[in-house]
Structure 1
């Protein structure tokens, strides 16, 4: 009998082409006409209206000039849609990257940022082609909620100087506490006009979201605030006064200067970009799947993110990832497929070519108001409260991740949060194991799946005093191995025949196999016959790999067959 037959029917593995065929190809192959193009054009225009102020605001908050955010949305967004594994994903600069990008610029300059972005693109290509995208889903929910909330706090803190129109002496610190101290020291430069522009921007966005949700609130708010600031001659800083406006064309693509020392210096930043970009883009694709009932190709999506980051870096842009808010806007606007995202990039390019001078009049306080709204929306407030109330373990992971992101580092917060989640998972799974005999429950404090006390093992078979059956239930791995080992060491030599029922073991690792091996050798030295019943093919293969094989033990498909064999052999 083949291994495939033993395991049972298995699903056909998708081919390389099926895994990495862009959704654009699928959509066009299924039939694409004028009606679909009209739907995608309207959705693309809607998303471009949302992305226009947001891309510039994110770039400025990241410590670079506003046009770099537009380059990112145009080049990166086009490649994400054209090559990606999601029908509706919108790529571009994301608020989640503000902290990482700003710190990279502060340490290594814009050249270091562009190099790190290109390296991140290469890493994302490797992650995608190695089919590691499937494992991104293993990031625990409390970690994602915690780091998203932490990023939101940092984004809001980064906009306080613009919100209040403060003028700092020297560079604004990146860390939260020094930043707040510097802002407090500069409070004497408070600008009421900047506060008025910020409040107006936030009020318009909030009002339109409530009474005119179909309107592009962010663009209307920025346009209104800019018009009022110019008409009233308000003394506020604008894109023009700080950056001199934005260019009216895309730059020519250029490779960053190869510098081995700089590559080594920005390697941690590139890895952080890769990790966060993969998480953010796949979360966004999952959101789109939930809204549409479609399924994205995760590894294909990561490959597209890799090409998009390389393309963005070639044109002087910053990190690209899937953006949840803009993707959701795309779906709500009635997009049919990836062409909507490609057209969104085209509309942004048209703005640069035609209306770039207008950007000079946009107050930085208005863009700060936009990011304040973004930060507020990033915090999953209901989920945060639910996790705090759910259990001490989830609350600990959430708060540790949240606080580390705010006061230490984003990558450190994710890594520590993930590690803490893993430890808690191991602890919980170790308590889910149970070993019971046909006569009594060895661990009466362990509840079954329904929450009640676990019943004793089939007492109707308790007729042979020289035969004992142990049933192991639950994942048998290193976390629970000591519990099972204690039971087996205590009972293994008390009967002539010893049956281990593994039918309730879905998984067994090498540590658990070593425990079984030790029990088997102890039974052999004591002259006890050992049977293993109900082991799945995967469990049996692991035991065989560790030497738990005949004649040391005998395998049977069920406890009943093992007991029947005992009677036939006349052991009992």
Structure 2
């Protein structure tokens, strides 16, 4: 009994950490520790920058990276995934905080966490493959543009009390504040950005460029007492120690209003984490468990808000850095979280001296690297449908929000897909041997009795192509006594197509004509059988091959010829 329960649990919940620890040795542990420390150092400035850009306090980003990073690595479905706050969430989180407040952001994140766990338990991890690539390029690049504009304020040192979340009001605020540019801030931000951009890749393994920019920027500001805004001047510093457990107050009214933003967080979290895991698979020649990954992402987002954290997901850049640093197991991700915790416990007071200009420069480079700009330069190589999905999703992400962009983008993609599949469905007259048909289903013209017409149906018979069945009688020069539909190439069928087929049969019966179905596949066969269509046309009129269809047609013609007319 207990064993069967454990087996059942293992089917739904088996972290990759369990598999990774098999045959684990000291050498692998050493490389994982080194990789974890490296990624932990890389994650520090990013966690702070993402939190500040999202409208949260800097410690929220660090605590999220620690707690969510630990849970995602310990319980996730990827060997090398690094979790934490990411740039993709900046725009969404900022908008939620501005509209609903920080307390409701925490509730949104918890709700999104439960949604992600449910998606994992319902084995929905593979649904990511149904998101077309142009849609992902469009909203990813749109988010990158929004991040870039959100950093203009701190990059230029503009004096703006509250930067609007919506794109056009944000542009207006930035434009009106241009006379308040702090040129010292601009110089520091520009130097930091150039350092990160042109930093030699060969040096990045030893000293990551964001860390070097952060250290140098902080040192320069402290040494020359530059008049620029810092973490200390805006937030008062970062607390030294662990966050306290502070559950947000849950109310039914709040839950009802926060379902939509929670779904946005869950959707983006699922896409981002599974994309990151897929990138990691390609780098280490492995295959992640997408359902387990969703469960871990969900648990991380359920737990983190109780410590004041923001939404977390798999981070592509940090995961790639983890792999390049030699990571072989989830131990590196756990070490990454512990490294961040150690830094907070030891060096938190120093963080108040970090200039916001340097953090904005780091985020600016992150956003530039995040956008998939090459997709726009190759638009002319794409089908019109793909270009439309990409451009529309990009514009809607920038102008409205991610939820609208994904919904409309998916609708457009589905519309074009239906149109494309519909164009592949054909109903053609097939009363003679054709080279396009196989020998089993083709028949010489002289073998077809007079009054019998054969049509070949090819493709998927669904609502988008069902009307093609109505053209059958229109294509016939003479009204057939027996109509044979060769259905061995019909791969699927829906109720709309069945309705059209019943309508066609009704027209034939009204004129005392007959319908024979030849070789329907399993799914169409089952649908027609369940709907009782075979009983209406007669089970003897459903045959396996063209020879049997012609034999049945001759029988029907003989019966008709013997029937007296009064």
Q: By the TM > 0.5 criterion, same fold?
A: yes
Q: CA deviation at 1:222?
A: 1.4
Structure 1: distance between partners of 2:233 and 2:437: 73
Structure 2: distance between partners of 1:78 and 1:268: 28
Q: CA deviation at 1:55?
A: 0.6
Structure 1: distance between partners of 2:477 and 2:348: 81
Within-5 A mapping of 1:56-205: 56-168=48-160, 170-205=161-196
Structure 2: distance between partners of 1:36 and 1:497: 73
What is the TM-score when the length of structure 2 is the normalising length?
0.91
Q: CA deviation at 1:194?
A: 1.0
Structure 1: distance between partners of 2:67 and 2:433: 64
2:542 counterpart SS class:
strand
Distance 1:335 1:571, change over 3 A: farther
**Worse-matched range after superposition: 112-121 or 367-376:** 112-121
Distance 1:155 1:473, change over 3 A: same
| 1:331 aligned partner | 323
Q: Does the CA contact (< 8 Å) of 1:530 and 1:552 recur in 2? A: no
Select which of 384, 408, 415 maps to 1:392.
384
| 1:555 aligned partner | 542
Q: CA deviation at 1:454?
A: 9.9
Q: Does the CA contact (< 8 Å) of 1:127 and 1:133 recur in 2? A: yes
Distance 1:57 1:571, change over 3 A: farther
Structure 2: distance between partners of 1:485 and 1:339: 62
Q: Does the CA contact (< 8 Å) of 1:520 and 1:552 recur in 2? A: no
Q: Does the CA contact (< 8 Å) of 2:469 and 2:504 recur in 1? A: no
Structure 2: distance between partners of 1:441 and 1:236: 83
| 1:52 aligned partner | 44
Q: CA deviation at 1:354?
A: 0.9
| 1:371 aligned partner | 363
Query: Is 2:236 aligned against 1:244?
Result: yes
Query: Is 2:19 aligned against 1:26?
Result: yes
Structure 2: distance between partners of 1:56 and 1:46: 17
Distance 1:192 1:422, change over 3 A: same
Select which of 494, 501, 520 maps to 1:516.
501
| 1:7 aligned partner | none
Within-5 A mapping of 1:245-260: 245-260=237-252
Distance 1:117 1:43, change over 3 A: same
Q: Does the CA contact (< 8 Å) of 2:432 and 2:445 recur in 1? A: no
Select which of 479, 483, 486 maps to 1:501.
486
**Worse-matched range after superposition: 210-219 or 196-205:** 210-219
Query: Is 2:336 aligned against 1:344?
Result: yes
| 1:288 aligned partner | 280
Q: Structure 1 regions of 5+ residues with no counterpart?
A: 1-13, 443-447
Distance 1:438 1:268, change over 3 A: closer
**Worse-matched range after superposition: 106-115 or 309-318:** 106-115
Post-superposition CA distance 1:96-139 (Å, at most 9, x none): 11111001111222111111111111121122212223223212
Q: Does the CA contact (< 8 Å) of 2:221 and 2:355 recur in 1? A: yes
Q: Does the CA contact (< 8 Å) of 2:432 and 2:444 recur in 1? A: no
Structure 2: distance between partners of 1:435 and 1:15: 48
RMSD over aligned Cα atoms: 2.5
Post-superposition CA distance 1:3-58 (Å, at most 9, x none): xxxxxxxxxxx966234311111222x32121221121122112112211001000
Query: Is 2:468 aligned against 1:483?
Result: yes
| 1:445 aligned partner | none
Q: CA deviation at 1:567?
A: 5.5
Q: Does the CA contact (< 8 Å) of 1:166 and 1:187 recur in 2? A: yes
Q: CA deviation at 1:458?
A: 3.9
Distance 1:426 1:31, change over 3 A: same
Q: CA deviation at 1:76?
A: 0.6
Structure 1: distance between partners of 2:433 and 2:34: 66
2:460 counterpart SS class:
coil
Select which of 205, 209, 213 maps to 1:217.
209
Q: Does the CA contact (< 8 Å) of 1:438 and 1:469 recur in 2? A: yes
Q: CA deviation at 1:515?
A: 1.7
2:428 counterpart SS class:
strand
1:334 counterpart SS class:
coil
Structure 1: distance between partners of 2:24 and 2:490: 50
Q: CA deviation at 1:240?
A: 1.3
Q: Structure 2 regions of 5+ residues with no counterpart?
A: 1-6, 560-566
